[in-house]
Structure 1
């Protein structure tokens, strides 16, 4: 039989069988088959495994030593050795002992722990290896069956950090390392992390310097730094920047509380800061102290990486901050100002976010879920003070901040997603999307509580000033709400009603309704009343502001957002397309490559000329040739609005008063590098 004949015969037999079954049970299965199926039991869910031990607010009873080797630069691997003394009840009886890898990280507002990078986990006791089992529900938990009489565990593992940005944030390069303790630590389950003591140690490449809020315990031994014992809460909150090219600048004020700007760079020439530039950073500390009337640290370390190799970061900590900036941060000072609110933002978090924190963002350990309902205060007001303090310190000029606020107002007033999604719901976005790229960000919204929250607090500030005849302002709220218990860095939590009560203590008003309308209600427009009260309004002109020029240069994008409705990144790739814009109406999407405009190869300046020429009502549509993968297609956009860039127009006196330095002159303390 040929292969073809065999297939045909098989097919005919199958068809015949189906005809027979149909004849026996014309309405479904045969009676015998149906009876057999009815006798089969239905599946039932398996019970979940026992839950990970709930944290208790009791001392752990021993100090865990942790050594990190940060010298394997070519392979981007951090290697750890951890010695964990065991509690008396485990020593006496043995049994299950659970170790946790931190997942819910303060400042990230979501379970972003890099558990996927953990490798080579080995647990030993007395020279013998002990097997471990990962929890199948809480996959960041590792169960260890400890033999009776075991006094301590020797644990070793690696962090297989990204070797390129395609895999995640790069934390190791040939000239710098960022050690984040949350990524390199395992800790015992069943305890509040403030009750677990760690003694950390790090080995750096030879000749490197470092900056951290941790303090060394005695003299340095070669390339190894041993730090004083701290609670796991403090350890996790005290990252390290270490680099080959490193400078430290003293920013300490008259109160003698040490503040240091620690800067590392890809190249030594990038560290060439002028006295005036460092004076502005010193003034940032001065202005923050005047604003809050307190501090909640006994020393503070700014950590700043000037790099295009290390992954970008802006993350707050109680006594330090992790920041990255462009290589020309100092050397191209006049062009990089759009990045200079970052240090002011993260410094503000020492008061707003670390000391005062929304109650649902505080947790007993780093594996307990958090909720972000108060992020419009935590991040929104910090975003506001970041701009204000940058201006007061001289890191940015008042006109630069005004231009930045104009851009914020234009973006969020035009964000179409506000028609269906209230601002409060965006506080869930750190968990929902974890900052993954979005196809239609202007429609889905993202973490809008940052910059729209900033506009809300401008609204609050100007209203307080108006109601009080300029006798009170948001400055008073900052000092009374964030300035309590001067010198303490014990977290003080709050809820919505506490914010309302504090505002009423500054200036009586129906703040509950005011805030509820702006945070919880759907609104067609962004809260722009703050501009109106300062005598300004949002307008558009054909010339980009200096801020947009700086911002676009730093991020390598060209902005056509408020005209055609898109921005263009490197190699002509569309970085964003606004929902409802002319480009959106024509079917343009992000990540397409803009190849040609009106038959000519894409050039940013040429496209600007084309948009300008199309202003005439009888002007021809703008033709765009787009590449989408291997496909090319042409779209036609009818648009006559010309180039449009946001600015503020009117009297700037009101904003100038907000952005002006507070108090007297900068500190006269003697500062030495």
Structure 2
């Protein structure tokens, strides 16, 4: 307060205690307000699950599904779905598949559905999206409703950044699970559907669905009634330029291409695919399909895919992969891999990965069997059949092994833990995948199964191998194309039936325990060793050339695109330690404008024993709008992985025998027609 004469007189009259109290009140007026006892603390609202669990009971009636796939300009699929309902039903719950087979995670593209309406008796019905399971739609039903008509559009991606492209001017891919709804509360095998699709005029249509009929105009196709599980498992490839080849064993190669000349596969190369059918049936010893279709798109316009189904597979290869056979040797493994899945993954499936519908979450713990052994068989069958050369297959194995020598993430994360990656990582790129790991159950799983094969060969004097496991595990009940589930102990029991060994410890150590040595046992038992050379093996060389990238993962620890942009940096590698990470662009090498050859020459020159040894490799790099020079200390030269034969003489080693053709060993009557 101000010291006025009146104030001085007043203060004189006050006692000391009164003065202190007055001073406190005037100085801190906020203390006069009432303070709460504690901060607000809400309680959780219980989550109400409004979608019922699936029951193994038939859904009443047959769903009519009509898809208009003729709009090539927008790529939009227009859907009309007629769903019968029980006479006393008060609500219908329709849902888009969420947990998609082969994707190993929740991938249902509900964001791509638009223009959704439901009607009954010509009247629009109100609907609400389930607040917990957002791919489900609740539709209250007026009394007397016998069927509900759903109309919606699947807005197919037009750019890679939006997701995988499925429609071009020359071809399209119908994946039923992305453009159909199914009623909740039932096993999908208990839901009947009659599908119809309209295609562009003059296009050829391929699918494993049965009972095909076409309209008089030829562009509308209807198939016989089927169950929803089989429908989802039977996608369509259709195209303007198409061809079909009989491979024997009721297996067909169905081709669609960007241009008609890309279909011109030479007879001797087509024979390799006939060999593949022979080799696969011979290896597994049974068929779990009544007929099978390789759906193969020869294109760089429709998105890349390799997706397994029980009686077919969706595959994409580079446009010239069949006509320029030698140059695209590296690109042709997808067919052999996906075919193997008919036995491993579709027929035999881990119990926790099988689900009754596409709502129940999948548990991916045994994907090192489902995908790891399939990766193994894909390489083996490709080499045996001639779909890929032995040198390229050896290069693939070398690539796997070499990569794992540089993968820091193996110290803390097991192979089995990577089987959960499709669920929580959703297959998106990672900043440092060498530290975080990716879905390594594919490639490290393949190396572990290679070691298992060679252990069996060694222990039985070459009389048995993983072929015997395949027949005992996957080749049971010839002709059954249902699903036969298994657990870890079933795998161990079957292995022990082929060759007694401590397989449980072997698998738990190699696959469930982090910090293990690089799995080179199969390579070394097979008469080879991992060695690094200053030139890429045939697989790496062709793959880099096609992608226009320079992979220096095993040397400098970095991968660059054609413009010198860093697309990957190996954790704790020489480039990483110097500060070179993803997103930067290398502009110059030792003062000269960047190109791949100059960088390779600089690495070679800096190698111990060469004139430039001991001097850092200087890179001028750009990050955002800033330039900086990074000196990288590295003296080990260029390094690409190879498998080099160690066995003396020329006799076939265990690995040679594994990759050699086996079709001549087929039982009588099993050879291709």
Q: TM class by shorter-chain length?
A: over 0.9
User: 2:226 — aligned with what?
Assistant: 230
| Kept after mapping to 2: 8 A contact 1:534/1:654 | yes
The runs of 5 or more residues in structure 2 that have no matched partner are: 1-20
From 192, 195, 198, give the equivalent of 2:193.
198
Write the distance in 2 (CA, Å) between the matches of 1:22 and 1:391.
94
From 337, 345, 352, give the equivalent of 2:337.
345
The more displaced of 270-279 and 564-573 is 564-573
Structure 2 residue 184 is matched with structure 1 residue 183: no
Query: TM-score, normalization: structure 1?
Result: 0.92
User: 1:485 — aligned with what?
Assistant: 477
Matches within 5 A, 1:281-320: 281-320=273-312
| Kept after mapping to 2: 8 A contact 1:104/1:111 | yes
SS for the counterpart of 2:563 is helix
Write the distance in 2 (CA, Å) between the matches of 1:101 and 1:389.
36
Distance change in 2, residues 1:135/1:308 (3 Å): same
Deviations 1:81-114 (A, max 9, x none): 0000002331xxxx22211110100100000111
Write the distance in 1 (CA, Å) between the matches of 2:530 and 2:598.
27
User: 1:453 — aligned with what?
Assistant: 445
Write the distance in 1 (CA, Å) between the matches of 2:428 and 2:199.
32
User: 1:10 — aligned with what?
Assistant: none
User: 1:58 — aligned with what?
Assistant: 57
| Kept after mapping to 2: 8 A contact 1:53/1:190 | yes
CA drift of 1:534 comes to: 1.3
User: 1:413 — aligned with what?
Assistant: 405
User: 1:632 — aligned with what?
Assistant: 627
CA drift of 1:607 comes to: 1.3
Distance change in 2, residues 1:424/1:28 (3 Å): farther
CA drift of 1:364 comes to: 1.0
Matches within 5 A, 1:433-472: 433-472=425-464
User: 2:521 — aligned with what?
Assistant: 529
Structure 2 residue 607 is matched with structure 1 residue 615: yes
| Kept after mapping to 1: 8 A contact 2:277/2:672 | no
Structure 2 residue 134 is matched with structure 1 residue 135: no
From 532, 536, 545, give the equivalent of 1:540.
532
Write the distance in 2 (CA, Å) between the matches of 1:629 and 1:435.
27
Larger radius of gyration, structure 1 or 2?
2
Write the distance in 1 (CA, Å) between the matches of 2:147 and 2:481.
32
CA drift of 1:22 comes to: 12
The more displaced of 187-196 and 405-414 is 405-414
What is the aligned length?
643
User: 1:17 — aligned with what?
Assistant: none
Write the distance in 2 (CA, Å) between the matches of 1:668 and 1:599.
68
Write the distance in 2 (CA, Å) between the matches of 1:319 and 1:336.
26
User: 1:166 — aligned with what?
Assistant: 161
User: 1:249 — aligned with what?
Assistant: 245
Write the distance in 2 (CA, Å) between the matches of 1:101 and 1:22.
71
| Kept after mapping to 2: 8 A contact 1:613/1:619 | no
Deviations 1:397-437 (A, max 9, x none): 22221121111110123211001111111011001111101
| Kept after mapping to 2: 8 A contact 1:250/1:671 | no
Write the distance in 1 (CA, Å) between the matches of 2:618 and 2:444.
34
| Kept after mapping to 2: 8 A contact 1:64/1:198 | yes
| Kept after mapping to 2: 8 A contact 1:64/1:83 | yes
User: 1:653 — aligned with what?
Assistant: 653
User: 1:218 — aligned with what?
Assistant: 213
| Kept after mapping to 1: 8 A contact 2:88/2:144 | no
Write the distance in 2 (CA, Å) between the matches of 1:643 and 1:25.
79
Distance change in 2, residues 1:27/1:438 (3 Å): farther
CA drift of 1:39 comes to: 8.8
User: 2:664 — aligned with what?
Assistant: 664
CA drift of 1:29 comes to: 6.7
User: 1:33 — aligned with what?
Assistant: 34
SS for the counterpart of 2:252 is strand
The more displaced of 431-440 and 608-617 is 608-617
SS for the counterpart of 1:199 is strand
CA drift of 1:21 comes to: 14
The more displaced of 528-537 and 629-638 is 629-638
Distance change in 2, residues 1:613/1:46 (3 Å): same
Write the distance in 2 (CA, Å) between the matches of 1:39 and 1:476.
70
Write the distance in 2 (CA, Å) between the matches of 1:282 and 1:28.
92
From 332, 354, 373, give the equivalent of 2:346.
354
Write the distance in 2 (CA, Å) between the matches of 1:505 and 1:665.
22
Question: Which runs of at least 4 in structure 1 moved beyond 6 Å after TM superposition?
Answer: 25-29, 665-672
Write the distance in 2 (CA, Å) between the matches of 1:120 and 1:631.
47
| Kept after mapping to 2: 8 A contact 1:21/1:29 | no
The runs of 5 or more residues in structure 1 that have no matched partner are: 1-19
| Kept after mapping to 2: 8 A contact 1:326/1:554 | no
| Kept after mapping to 2: 8 A contact 1:595/1:625 | yes
Deviations 1:600-642 (A, max 9, x none): 1211112111111111464421111222222222211111111
Distance change in 2, residues 1:670/1:220 (3 Å): farther
CA drift of 1:333 comes to: 1.0
SS for the counterpart of 1:88 is coil
CA drift of 1:445 comes to: 0.2
Write the distance in 2 (CA, Å) between the matches of 1:291 and 1:444.
35
Distance change in 2, residues 1:21/1:44 (3 Å): farther
SS for the counterpart of 2:400 is helix
Structure 2 residue 134 is matched with structure 1 residue 146: no
Write the distance in 1 (CA, Å) between the matches of 2:29 and 2:517.
59
| Kept after mapping to 1: 8 A contact 2:368/2:442 | yes
CA drift of 1:228 comes to: 1.1
| Kept after mapping to 2: 8 A contact 1:414/1:525 | no
CA drift of 1:485 comes to: 1.1
CA drift of 1:252 comes to: 1.6
CA drift of 1:568 comes to: 1.5
User: 1:46 — aligned with what?
Assistant: 45
Write the distance in 2 (CA, Å) between the matches of 1:82 and 1:438.
39
User: 1:15 — aligned with what?
Assistant: none
| Kept after mapping to 1: 8 A contact 2:391/2:538 | no
User: 1:5 — aligned with what?
Assistant: none
Distance change in 2, residues 1:65/1:540 (3 Å): same
| Kept after mapping to 2: 8 A contact 1:98/1:143 | yes
Write the distance in 1 (CA, Å) between the matches of 2:229 and 2:392.
38
Distance change in 2, residues 1:518/1:38 (3 Å): same
Deviations 1:354-399 (A, max 9, x none): 0000111111100110110000000000000000000000011222
CA drift of 1:32 comes to: 3.2
User: 2:15 — aligned with what?
Assistant: none
Deviations 1:275-314 (A, max 9, x none): 0111101110100000011011111000111111101001
The more displaced of 327-336 and 128-137 is 327-336
Write the distance in 1 (CA, Å) between the matches of 2:22 and 2:283.
85
